[in-house]
A and B are shown apart, each in its own frame.
Chain A
Amino acid sequence: DAGVIQSPRHEVTEMGQEVTLRCKPISGHNSLFWYRQTMMRGLELLIYFNNNVPIDDSGMPEDRFSAKMPNASFSTLKIQPSEPRDSAVYFCASSRRDLEEKLFFGSGTQLSVL
């Protein structure tokens, strides 16, 4: 298995632009998490899905952030409009809750908003 796949690995954009981050979870996993990592706040949970349904989005910073999971093999995190304070590493992670609880992370997307 290729593991959790995220794209792009790096994204540099200008303030005000729309940013879309993509994630393909491990095949067969039924939970998907989006985390944001910064030096100041560590690993923050933004939102997570169980069986493609958003369960808890209380960590989403504001309305500029949105996430979707249209099917079991794809999720997006969108920021519109982006701001410099959104600069961080965004990780996607997945797990199979009922059989194996371990959470596996993707390689992350390094986002820089200028």
Chain B
Amino acid sequence: GENVEQHPSTLSVQEGDSAVIKCTYSDSASNYFPWYKQELGKRPQLIIDIRSNVGEKKDQRIAVTLNKTAKHFSLHITETQPEDSAVYFCAASSRYNQGGKLIFGQGTELSVKP
């Protein structure tokens, strides 16, 4: 079955710097890769997702890149702000739009220092 590895487990940056979180997946059939942000005591919320037919996707200060050959994908946050501080989870799924399951990485705790 699918296995998703995420690193680093913790990341501390200064406000205004960039942050990069990386994930690898094991199932070469995986074709859907969402990223979730979870603030303390709250539910995970989708911030961006990418499908395997796209190599990169951007939404304002957030971007995700996908390397299907190497089976890894990354989240990039530019111009970080204190409100970006949270736990970020990557996930992967094969045949997601046909009913496959979504497996999450272990999470990265991002701390943005003002």
Residues of A in contact with B (beta carbons under 8 Å apart): 31, 33, 35, 42-43, 45, 48, 50, 55-56, 58, 91, 97-98, 101-108
Task: Tell me whether B25 is interfacial, beta carbon within 8 Å.
Answer: no
Contact of A45 among B45, B99, B101, B107 (CB under 8 A): B101
What are 12 A-B pairs with beta-carbon distances under 8 A?
A31-B99, A43-B44, A43-B104, A45-B102, A48-B101, A50-B99, A97-B98, A101-B49, A101-B96, A102-B34, A103-B102, A107-B42
Residues of B within 8 A of A97 (CB): 96-99
Residues of B within 8 A of A45 (CB): 101-104
Most chain B C-beta atoms within 10 Å of own C-beta, residue among A42, A91, A106 = A42
Chain A: CB-nearest residue to B104: A43
How many angstroms from the CA of A101 to the CA of B43 in the assembled complex?
Answer: 18
Q: Is the CB of A42 within 8 A of B89?
A: yes
How many angstroms from the CA of A91 to the CA of B45 in the assembled complex?
Answer: 12
Most chain A C-beta atoms within 10 Å of own C-beta, residue among B44, B45, B98, B104 = B44
Residues of A within 8 A of B97 (CB): 97-98, 101
How many angstroms from the CA of A33 to the CA of B43 in the assembled complex?
Answer: 14
- Min Cβ gap A72→B in Å is 15
Q: Is the CB of B43 within 8 A of A105?
A: yes
Residues of B within 8 A of A102 (CB): 34, 46, 49
- Seed contacts A104-B46, A105-B45, A107-B43; 4 additional CB < 8 Å A-B pairs: A45-B101, A101-B32, A105-B44, A108-B43
Residues of B within 8 A of A56 (CB): 101
Q: Is the CB of B107 within 8 A of A43?
A: yes
How many angstroms from the CA of A84 to the CA of B62 in the assembled complex?
Answer: 39
Residues of B within 8 A of A106 (CB): 43
Residues of A within 8 A of B1 (CB): 58
